[in-house]
Amino acid sequence: MKNTIFTFTDHSPKYKQIYEKFKSFIEQGDLLTNEKLPSIRQLADSLHVSRNTTLMAYEQLVAEGYIRGEGRQGYFVNELEPLISQEAFILPHPKQTESVKPPVVNFRSDAVDQTNFPLKIWRRIANQVLTLPDSYRYGEPFGEACLREQISTYLFQSRGVKTNSDAIIIGSSTQQMLVYLGQILKEEFQSIIVEDPGYDGAREAFQFHRFMFEMLPVYETGADFSQIEQMKSRLIYITPSHQSPIGVSMSIQQRQMLIHWVNKMCGYIIEDDYDSEFRYTQKPFPALASIDSARVIYLGNFSKSFLPGIRLTYMVLPESVLHRYKKYYSHFESPTSLFSQLTMAKFMELGEWNRHVKRMRLVYKRKMLHLVSELKKQFGQNISVIGEQSGLYLLIKLHLDRTEEWLIKRAFSYGVKVCPTSLYFIKNKSDYPIIKLGFSHLSCDEIELGVGLLKKAWIS
């Protein structure tokens, strides 16, 4: 070995510094393949360290494949591929262009109100949960019994859905649940009716299993069921309480008609009840699953109403699907956090969930009214407001000779980020561009500022 001076520092253990130095010698070619290294004793004496220190360094090098031990012969350098310079992995600096500033106001629809989030309560309950023995194990494959029981009670009280906790499945997201569900349903069904416009994430999940689509047109006045009797599909995915994205709610007559249709077809309704908690004009409508639980697969989640990052979704399965689902996925691990499930279960048990929903309904209603007021004041007859009765976003149809792309780019140039809606439409295209405005995380001052900037951007 070449004569090299070791200089120890105080920043890391000496064995690690020896390991790093020898690793560098080997990678740079200063130590050649099959070259013999000093013995543990020799190296320890020369560096004035303990033999245990040099032994630990050699053991680390052996474990990573840099050297090998050959019994009493000692340690030898292994063959390595030539070291590729780290510079090769450094991406070239992009050309200095005009810097992109973050938007002043972001009308995103994937966030909730942070100011009113029950942080102290949630943290206190989470800390208590961490003291429980149940927190230190793997979760149940279909969700924790304590959370499923709380959801069962809540669904009966708030949505009129009567279900046994054993029929509830806990997952991480609506898409994940639909992908898992699709694997079961595709054994019996080849096509599905979806809303147009409708939630694109659901379509992606069904497309994953190669379902064919039939379209149910949805307008600002509601869904058009006039052609459903002529459709071949016996499976339908629908958002009846707050249609995504139009925001209309299905009337009781339409709900009864749909239940009659699905029973006649011996099919299933997949009811996505993603944000039914936030209705501002009347109480939340009863769920379809409260009318007929035998033919309705019910989906709900905590992302919109509580916290997107918690990744907790639930599904209520009819008995005819439940048995197949549990048999198929009995050996799969739970896709969601055990810790989040236990904390949410205790949160609901203590009544904090109901208190949170009631409080946020008032908070979001105030924001929605303020947004609608500002839009009408600034834009007048140039826009139509869609979906102001419920939810955490609304749509605005702009009666302008502009494209959706132009409106979004123009808004961003004025410091405002807005969301497109074209991704929701399949065939049932709108006559004017429609923009989506989420407001849940914004203050009333930010809403006012954002709408004012949109007015400057779009009507100057």
Domain ranges of the chain: 14-86, 105-112+357-458, 119-355
* Shared fold status for 14-86 and 105-112+357-458: no
Greater confidence, 441 or 285?
441
Q: Could you give the CA distance from residue 304 to residue 298 in angstroms, rounded to a whole number?
A: 16
Q: Could you give the CA distance from residue 365 to residue 204 in angstroms, rounded to a whole number?
A: 31
Residues 43-68, mean pLDDT to the nearest whole number: 90
Q: pLDDT category, 87, cuts 50, 70, 90?
A: very low
Q: Is the pLDDT score of 455 beyond 90?
A: yes
pLDDT value at position 116? Answer: 93
Residues 54-77, mean pLDDT to the nearest whole number: 89
pLDDT value at position 63? Answer: 85
Q: pLDDT category, 353, cuts 50, 70, 90?
A: very high
Q: Could you give the CA distance from residue 172 to residue 311 in angstroms, rounded to a whole number?
A: 5
Greater confidence, 72 or 197?
197
Residues 329-336, mean pLDDT to the nearest whole number: 93
Q: pLDDT category, 281, cuts 50, 70, 90?
A: confident
pLDDT value at position 11? Answer: 76
pLDDT digits (tens, 9 = 90+) for 380-403: 999 999 999 888 999 999 999 999
CB 73 within 8 A of CB 65: no
Long-range contacts of 345-349 (CB under 8 A, 24+ apart): 345/144, 345/146, 345/147, 345/149, 345/150, 346/125, 346/128, 346/129, 346/146, 347/121, 347/122, 347/125, 348/147, 348/150, 348/151, 348/154, 349/146, 349/150
Q: pLDDT category, 96, cuts 50, 70, 90?
A: low
Q: What percent of the chain has pLDDT over 70?
A: 94
pLDDT digits (tens, 9 = 90+) for 255-266: 999 999 999 999
**Burial class for 274, CB neighbours closer than 10 Å (0-12, 13-18, 19+):** buried
Q: pLDDT category, 88, cuts 50, 70, 90?
A: very low
CB 88 within 8 A of CB 301: no
Q: Could you give the CA distance from residue 401 to residue 420 in angstroms, rounded to a whole number?
A: 16
Average pLDDT taken over every residue of the chain: 91
State whether CATH 3.40.50.300 applies to domain 14-86.
Answer: no
Q: Could you give the CA distance from residue 26 to residue 357 in angstroms, rounded to a whole number?
A: 62
CA angle 117–136–151, rounded 5-degree value: 45
DSSP-assigned states of every residue in 359-391? HHHHHHHHHHHHHHHHHHHHHGGGEEEE-TTBS
Q: Could you give the CA distance from residue 353 to residue 344 in angstroms, rounded to a whole number?
A: 8
Q: Which residues, 6 or more positions from 216, have their beta carbon under 8 angstroms from its beta carbon?
A: 193, 194, 195, 196, 198, 223, 224, 225, 228, 236, 238
- Third-level CATH fold of 105-112+357-458: Aspartate Aminotransferase, domain 1 (3.90.1150)
Q: Is the pLDDT score of 97 beyond 60?
A: no
Q: Is the pLDDT score of 321 beyond 70?
A: yes
pLDDT value at position 94? Answer: 56
Pairing type for strands 235-238 and 268-272 reads: parallel
Of the listed ranges 6-15, 165-174, 240-249, the one predicted with least confidence: 6-15
State whether CATH 3.40.640.10 applies to domain 119-355.
Answer: yes
CA angle 305–311–312, rounded 5-degree value: 70
Q: 3-state SS of the chain: helix, strand, coil percent to 5?
A: 45, 15, 40
pLDDT value at position 267? Answer: 96
Model confidence, pTM: 0.79
Q: Is the pLDDT score of 98 beyond 60?
A: no
Q: pLDDT category, 231, cuts 50, 70, 90?
A: very high
Nearest to 299 by CA among 318, 319, 283, 281: 318
CB 392 within 8 A of CB 112: yes
